[in-house]
Chains A and B, each alone.
Chain A
Amino acid sequence: MFISLQWLREFVPYTGSVKDLADRLTMQGLEVEAILDPFESIAKIVVGHVVDCARHPEAEKLSVCSVDVGAAELLPIVCGAPNVATGQKVPVALLGTTMPGGMEIKKAKLRGVVSCGMICSERELGLSEEHAGIMVLPAGLRPGQLLTEALGLEREVIEVSITPNRADCLSVLGIAREAALGFGLPLTMPALNLVEDAAAGDAPVDVAGLVRIDIADPELCPVYRARVLTGAKIGKSPDWLRYRLLAIGQRPISNIVDVTNYILMELGQPLHAFDRSLLKGDVIRVAPAQPYLMDAPSITTLDGQERKLLGSDLLIWDAERPVALAGVMGGANSSISDASTEVLLECAIFRPGTIRKTARRLALPSEASYRFERGVDQVGSLFALERAAQLMAEVSGAKVLTGIAMSEPKPWADRSHIFRLERCNALLGLTLTADFCRTTLIGLGCGVDDTDPACWQVSSPSHRLDLEREVDLFEECGRVHGLDRIPAVLPKISKSLESVQMSDTEFGFLQGLKAWAVGAGLREAINYSFVGTEDLDRLNLPASGRIQIANPLSEDQNVLRTEIAPGLLNNVRHNLSQGNASLRLFEVAKAFVADTTSDTSARENSRLGLLVHGARHSQEWPWEQGEADYLDVKGLVENLLTHYRLASQKTVAAYVLEPGHPYLEPCVRVELPGTAGKDEPTLIGRIGRVQPKIADAYHARKDVWLADLDADLLRSLSRATTPVFRSLPKFPPVRRDVTVICPATLKSQDVEAAIRDIRPKLLESLALVAVYAPDANDSGTPTERNLTFRLTYRHAERTLVDKEVDKEHGKVLSGLPQKLPVRI
């Protein structure tokens, strides 16, 4: 909201600087975002006196003027405007001036005549749309004077950010009240001297009897008043009015409309002017669209748009039809035009929620609806009507008919609240005195009854709709005293010693998970939780279970990700486009799936995504070169499981091929054995290579390896494990290697399982130590391969002798070929 300092000073005799005002308002809770000079772009324009004006010798439409701009010499200026004439006072842009449109004034020769400046039109100065000729200034001005000074243009405007609770500050008056409060100055309302007129004819007319106001529901419209003006002459507003609107960024339209805007800005009361001659019957009815408009209700607003209505939309009706969307916008059928002479001026209060619903649904926010939504001062609205009628009469030559047509089915009722000083100080942490609080509340316009010193009765003023409760009054006292003067005290937190430790919280676990990933040499990515439908489709992810955003910002952010992959894959695309060819990324984030049993309709699951792409190691010496592959990402997963103690003998993970995965190929399920009483293995997540065709869409020419793991599950599983100490072995081990020649299709895991299944006694551990694929078939694929396992035997209480190891190892050697199609 823009507030002109000049305008403000009409209400409060503030003489300080704009900076001090801005600082004070900010510390009172009205944040001043900027201090502006609205006419900065014409600050250098000066007043010129056209001493002589002659026709250009070479061009009929050009004049050559000698202009006095207060300097020693007259300036020669060539002017193309038809209305330029000797003796005029005109605005002159001197050489070097940059015009509002960005054009710089330079010395020029026009058809052989030198021109040292420009005489400006109103449009060139941004003062109006007038451009038929130059702007002619009042005769009394002094040449050389700055135009802004000569016209009395406002140079100081503050932009205030008004929080939704402070509807009362959406006006010059409101800000003036705050300035008066802040600086201890009196507030003066503009004088009213409305002259009422009996009707044009002989018989005296009272508008109260002339126009009937009919309100369907007092809740929707507690008060509606109207005045009638006759004989208005629609035209341009006087300069002072136009310049004042321009200074706060409002476009002047015509005198009657400008006055409604002026009052809205000055007093915060939205008004509407109807062309009374277009209203049917002298009836104004305030009622919702239903049940009066039955089929396909709509109204054409004054901007020419047809607006579809809901039954709950509040309308203003004449005797026959809707003529305005109450509090939002007038109707085209009754709006003021250049030909209007009869005006019905509406000044009403509407129910905030109703106006808000309509304005939002129709995407029709206006200065009026903005104020009605937040609440307008019902008691103050009468003054606004009177002042508006007076100004309209002044600027349009209209007569204001005697009387007001009105209906106030729900008059303003004072609201009274208790105020306990002790509680106020306890909440604020201050020691405010009763005197201070009383003075402050009275200064705010409250009525204070302190008969009971411990519990006052305070009534809040009609313009402060936000003062609804005792605590609101506390805030006022704190605010006026200065919240910044509240001392800092460290609270004594009484807390149960049983409260959870950081590491036991979800946040703590995920923090630890990220620490693991960093230690594993991965970089953390954070992606938006939403992606585009296309991102999920590209990965062939199922359409069911997706959670769509009803009002997305764009198509590529219209659905919540159901898996962690889409974000990481987008990071691949971005990084490759930037020439970052090797990637080791991780992300910990939620995946979202629709779940009708959830009170939020979604099931949220924290996932850990790992992604490796490109070179396995740094491409610098001494690392061996190679592309990251399955074993790299699987190694990360194995390391993670070990980190969380999920890789012991008992919980050894199985890596199971899963054919037909939507976007991974190969896709390997990472499964932990089922817990007690459950045979079903637990799926921790999946590892796989993004199908090359899909990877191609992310511009990845090399393999993209991913792991997508369930972080919630990891958390619950890891919490159940505790390290258990085992004594260190006292006796030496005996190690035996066995090389198993097996079909290439046989999994290492299966051979390992078979060995364990033979249950050789004394076997302590088993590890694959070599893989060799000697033979290849015609297509180059090995048909067989050799897997060498190292078996470690040990006895806990004595040194083993070869013979007993030979016996156990022999069981393995003879047992394997019986269990599997292998040779030893």
Chain B
Amino acid sequence: MNETLKSFLEGLDGLTLECEARRGQACSLKDVEALRVEFLGRKGKLAGAMVLLAQMGPEDKPAAGRKANEIKAALTALLESRQAELEAASTKDDLAGFDPSLPGRRPAAGSLHPITLAMQEICEVLTGLGFEVVAGPEVENDWNNFEALNMPPDHPARDMQDTLYISDNIVLRTHTSPLQVRTMMSRKPPVAVIAPGKVYRRDSDITHTPMFHQIEGLLVDKGVSMADLRGTLTAFVRQLFSADTKVRFRPSFFPFTEPSAEVDISCMLCGGAGHIKGEPCRVCKKTGWVEILGCGMVDPNVFRSVGYDPEAVTGFAFGLGVERVAMLKYGIGDLRMFFENDVRFLEQFS
């Protein structure tokens, strides 16, 4: 081995040793950078050592070049590991004051009104069962709100709904049932729709507000029976409340359905027992049942009003109060809270 090569190789090893020795003194990223420039920079020590390469014969150059590359890699590794050590230490220092318990920069939280919450849930279940959502005006004419629904003028059934009038012939709709009329007037059977919306009655006390929300359901087709109605409502309340909810049909009267029934469901609080640990249940008043909606088979007179043939099709309709569902589901005791819009009330439904 000639001398030039030997001293070149020794010089390079010396560089490694020196760098190893000095890397510990580098106490900041800046120091590390200075070392890098000193050893690996364009005018650094490695570059300086490489001058010898030019003096070597072609037989030595490959070995010298290999060595130079090894040393360059070694130096780079030494400095990078130092840099990593320092960075780790600095992150550690940065994190020393980190307080994970400080409050976050929370964007304002929004919330749906509990009535909307209940309404959307009801509509989701019913659309899942195959119903389509329709909408209509809240100011209605007498024909759509009453007459087409088998409530002729001066019929006592009109007493069932205290009406807010705009004029003799125009009312604030007292139920969502006019949507039955509007839908059937504009479509041929089969029809499967639900109509959610605001309704109005001239009634205001602890259990009534002059505006409230209803959802109407209507299914008309060939051969629809009351068993279909019961099946639909059972599936509906079981999804809305719980899978073991029981359904009870009680005969009742609505002018636009015949037969008509009130639907009770087993009380969700006491499970239908009527009492909880010996105390009477406050939700169902000891009966074990909670009245939830009204329903029935579409009255032939309604079909006649909208131009359907009652001998050709049958159908069922149901209507339920959304506030009632919201009160039962969320345990709200006072109906009037719904319309005060107190943010302390609203934020509970975030």
Q: Mark A139-171, 1 if CB is under 8 A from B, else 0.
A: 000000000000000000000000111100000
Q: Using CB atoms, name the residue of chain A closest to B107.
A: A521
Q: Which of A518-554 contact B (CB under 8 A)?
A: 518-530, 547-553
Q: Is A353 part of the binding interface, using a Cβ–Cβ cutoff of 8 Å?
A: yes
Knowing that A469-B258, A471-B299, A551-B202 touch, tell me 7 more A-B residue pairs with CB under 8 angstroms: A164-B255, A426-B314, A474-B258, A518-B112, A530-B172, A580-B343, A600-B139
Q: Is A599 part of the binding interface, using a Cβ–Cβ cutoff of 8 Å?
A: yes
In the complex the two chains form, is B116's CB within 8 Å of A514's CB? yes
Q: How far is the CA of A552 from the CA of B235 in the complex (A)?
A: 40
Q: Is A429 part of the binding interface, using a Cβ–Cβ cutoff of 8 Å?
A: yes
Q: Using CB atoms, name the residue of chain B closest to A357.
A: B154
**A177 nearest CB across to chain B (Å):** 15
Q: Using CB atoms, name the residue of chain B closest to A558.
A: B164
Q: Which residues of A contact B341 (CB under 8 A)?
A: 525-527, 571, 574-575, 585
Q: How far is the CA of A34 from the CA of B212 in the complex (A)?
A: 26
Q: Is A430 part of the binding interface, using a Cβ–Cβ cutoff of 8 Å?
A: yes
Q: Is B156 part of the binding interface, using a Cβ–Cβ cutoff of 8 Å?
A: yes
Q: Which of B66-107 contact A (CB under 8 A)?
A: 102-103, 105-107
Q: Is A703 part of the binding interface, using a Cβ–Cβ cutoff of 8 Å?
A: no
Q: Is A749 part of the binding interface, using a Cβ–Cβ cutoff of 8 Å?
A: no
Q: Is B30 part of the binding interface, using a Cβ–Cβ cutoff of 8 Å?
A: no
In the complex the two chains form, is A549's CB within 8 Å of B105's CB? no
With A427-B314, A486-B227, A604-B137 already in contact, the answer to whether A491 and B232 are too (CB < 8 A) is: yes
In the complex the two chains form, is A484's CB within 8 Å of B227's CB? no
Q: Which residues of B contact A500 (CB under 8 A)?
A: 132
In the complex the two chains form, is A505's CB within 8 Å of B115's CB? no
In the complex the two chains form, is B343's CB within 8 Å of A575's CB? yes
In the complex the two chains form, is A31's CB within 8 Å of B105's CB? no
**Would you list 14 pairs from A and B whose C-beta atoms are within 8 A, ordered by A residue?**
A27-B250, A31-B252, A352-B156, A373-B156, A426-B225, A475-B260, A478-B251, A488-B234, A490-B232, A520-B110, A521-B110, A528-B339, A549-B165, A586-B110
Q: Using CB atoms, name the residue of chain B closest to A161.
A: B252
Q: Which residues of A contact B23 (CB under 8 A)?
A: none
In the complex the two chains form, is B253's CB within 8 Å of A165's CB? yes
**A599 nearest CB across to chain B (Å):** 6
Q: Is B272 part of the binding interface, using a Cβ–Cβ cutoff of 8 Å?
A: no
Q: How far is the CA of A428 from the CA of B110 in the complex (A)?
A: 47
Which one of A615-623, A750-758, A800-808 is at the interface?
A: A615-623
- The contact of B230 among A488, A506, A560, A589, by CB within 8 Å, is A488
Q: Which residues of A contact B115 (CB under 8 A)?
A: 526
Q: Which residues of B contact A411 (CB under 8 A)?
A: none
Q: How far is the CA of A511 from the CA of B226 in the complex (A)?
A: 32
Q: How far is the CA of A26 from the CA of B251 in the complex (A)?
A: 8
Which one of B14-22, B47-55, B57-65, B192-200 is at the interface?
A: B192-200
Q: Using CB atoms, name the residue of chain A closest to B163.
A: A551
**A518 nearest CB across to chain B (Å):** 4
Q: How far is the CA of A523 from the CA of B137 in the complex (A)?
A: 25
Q: Is B243 part of the binding interface, using a Cβ–Cβ cutoff of 8 Å?
A: no
Q: Using CB atoms, name the residue of chain A closest to B156.
A: A164
Q: How far is the CA of A551 from the CA of B230 in the complex (A)?
A: 38
In the complex the two chains form, is A26's CB within 8 Å of B140's CB? no
Q: How far is the CA of A586 from the CA of B111 in the complex (A)?
A: 10
Q: Is A236 part of the binding interface, using a Cβ–Cβ cutoff of 8 Å?
A: no
Number of interface residues of A (CB under 8 A): 93
Q: Using CB atoms, name the residue of chain A closest to B139.
A: A602
In the complex the two chains form, is A524's CB within 8 Å of B139's CB? no
Q: Which residues of A contact B210 (CB under 8 A)?
A: 528, 530, 553, 557
Q: Using CB atoms, name the residue of chain A closest to B248.
A: A484
Q: Is A578 part of the binding interface, using a Cβ–Cβ cutoff of 8 Å?
A: yes
Q: How far is the CA of A550 from the CA of B168 in the complex (A)?
A: 9
In the complex the two chains form, is A552's CB within 8 Å of B164's CB? yes
Q: Is A590 part of the binding interface, using a Cβ–Cβ cutoff of 8 Å?
A: yes
In the complex the two chains form, is B343's CB within 8 Å of A550's CB? no
Q: Is B138 part of the binding interface, using a Cβ–Cβ cutoff of 8 Å?
A: yes
In the complex the two chains form, is B346's CB within 8 Å of A551's CB? no
Q: How far is the CA of A491 from the CA of B229 in the complex (A)?
A: 8
Q: Is A507 part of the binding interface, using a Cβ–Cβ cutoff of 8 Å?
A: yes
With A502-B133, A507-B135, A618-B108 already in contact, the answer to whether A471 and B258 are too (CB < 8 A) is: yes
Q: Is B261 part of the binding interface, using a Cβ–Cβ cutoff of 8 Å?
A: yes
Report, nearest first, the 8 A-B pairs whose CB atoms are least far apart. Answer: A429-B227, A521-B108, A29-B251, A163-B253, A429-B225, A518-B110, A491-B228, A475-B259
With A489-B228, A547-B139, A549-B166 already in contact, the answer to whether A479 and B259 are too (CB < 8 A) is: yes
Q: How far is the CA of A520 from the CA of B109 in the complex (A)?
A: 8
**B345 nearest CB across to chain A (Å):** 10
Q: Which residues of A contact B133 (CB under 8 A)?
A: 502, 505, 507-508
Q: Which residues of A contact B111 (CB under 8 A)?
A: 518, 523-524
In the complex the two chains form, is B227's CB within 8 Å of A483's CB? no
Q: Using CB atoms, name the residue of chain A closest to B222.
A: A494
In the complex the two chains form, is A478's CB within 8 Å of B223's CB? no
Q: Which residues of A contact B297 (CB under 8 A)?
A: 427, 471
Q: Which residues of A contact B221 (CB under 8 A)?
A: 491, 493-494
Q: Which residues of B contact A507 (CB under 8 A)?
A: 123, 133, 135, 196
Q: How far is the CA of A450 from the CA of B300 in the complex (A)?
A: 24
Q: Is B211 part of the binding interface, using a Cβ–Cβ cutoff of 8 Å?
A: yes
**A156 nearest CB across to chain B (Å):** 18
Q: How far is the CA of A166 from the CA of B160 in the complex (A)?
A: 13
Q: Is B45 part of the binding interface, using a Cβ–Cβ cutoff of 8 Å?
A: no
Q: Which residues of B contact A491 (CB under 8 A)?
A: 219, 221, 224, 228, 231-232
Q: How far is the CA of A816 from the CA of B66 in the complex (A)?
A: 64
Q: Is B308 part of the binding interface, using a Cβ–Cβ cutoff of 8 Å?
A: no
Q: Mark A501-516, 1 if CB is under 8 A from B, else 0.
A: 0100111100100100
Q: Is A601 part of the binding interface, using a Cβ–Cβ cutoff of 8 Å?
A: yes
Q: How far is the CA of A469 from the CA of B258 in the complex (A)?
A: 10
In the complex the two chains form, is A471's CB within 8 Å of B141's CB? no
Q: Which residues of B contact A255 (CB under 8 A)?
A: none
Q: Which residues of A contact B347 (CB under 8 A)?
A: 523
Q: Is B247 part of the binding interface, using a Cβ–Cβ cutoff of 8 Å?
A: yes
Q: Is A301 part of the binding interface, using a Cβ–Cβ cutoff of 8 Å?
A: no
Q: Is A247 part of the binding interface, using a Cβ–Cβ cutoff of 8 Å?
A: no
Q: Is A225 part of the binding interface, using a Cβ–Cβ cutoff of 8 Å?
A: no
Q: How far is the CA of A28 from the CA of B259 in the complex (A)?
A: 12
In the complex the two chains form, is B166's CB within 8 Å of A523's CB? no
In the complex the two chains form, is A474's CB within 8 Å of B202's CB? no
Q: Is A472 part of the binding interface, using a Cβ–Cβ cutoff of 8 Å?
A: yes
Q: Is A723 part of the binding interface, using a Cβ–Cβ cutoff of 8 Å?
A: no
In the complex the two chains form, is B202's CB within 8 Å of A553's CB? yes
Q: Is B3 part of the binding interface, using a Cβ–Cβ cutoff of 8 Å?
A: no
In the complex the two chains form, is A478's CB within 8 Å of B232's CB? no
Q: How far is the CA of A622 from the CA of B242 in the complex (A)?
A: 43
In the complex the two chains form, is A493's CB within 8 Å of B192's CB? yes
Q: How far is the CA of A165 from the CA of B159 in the complex (A)?
A: 12
- The contact of B227 among A27, A469, A489, by CB within 8 Å, is A489
Q: Using CB atoms, name the residue of chain A closest to B115.
A: A526
Q: Using CB atoms, name the residue of chain B closest to A577.
A: B342
Q: Is A487 part of the binding interface, using a Cβ–Cβ cutoff of 8 Å?
A: yes
Q: Is B269 part of the binding interface, using a Cβ–Cβ cutoff of 8 Å?
A: no
Q: Which residues of B contact A472 (CB under 8 A)?
A: 258
Q: Is B204 part of the binding interface, using a Cβ–Cβ cutoff of 8 Å?
A: yes
With A29-B250, A29-B252, A602-B137 already in contact, the answer to whether A490 and B228 are too (CB < 8 A) is: yes
Q: How far is the CA of A519 from the CA of B108 in the complex (A)?
A: 9
Q: Which of B126-162 contact A (CB under 8 A)?
A: 127, 129-130, 132-135, 137-141, 154-157, 159-160
Q: Which residues of B contact A494 (CB under 8 A)?
A: 190, 221
Among B133, B211, B234, the most chain A Cβ lie within 10 Å of the Cβ of: B133
Q: Which residues of A contact B253 (CB under 8 A)?
A: 29, 163-166
Q: Is A227 part of the binding interface, using a Cβ–Cβ cutoff of 8 Å?
A: no
Q: How far is the CA of A806 from the CA of B258 in the complex (A)?
A: 82
In the complex the two chains form, is B138's CB within 8 Å of A529's CB? yes
Q: Using CB atoms, name the residue of chain A closest to B201.
A: A553
With A518-B112, A560-B139 already in contact, the answer to whether A526 and B338 are too (CB < 8 A) is: yes
Q: Which of A462-501 contact B (CB under 8 A)?
A: 469, 471-472, 474-475, 478-479, 483-484, 486-491, 493-495, 499-500
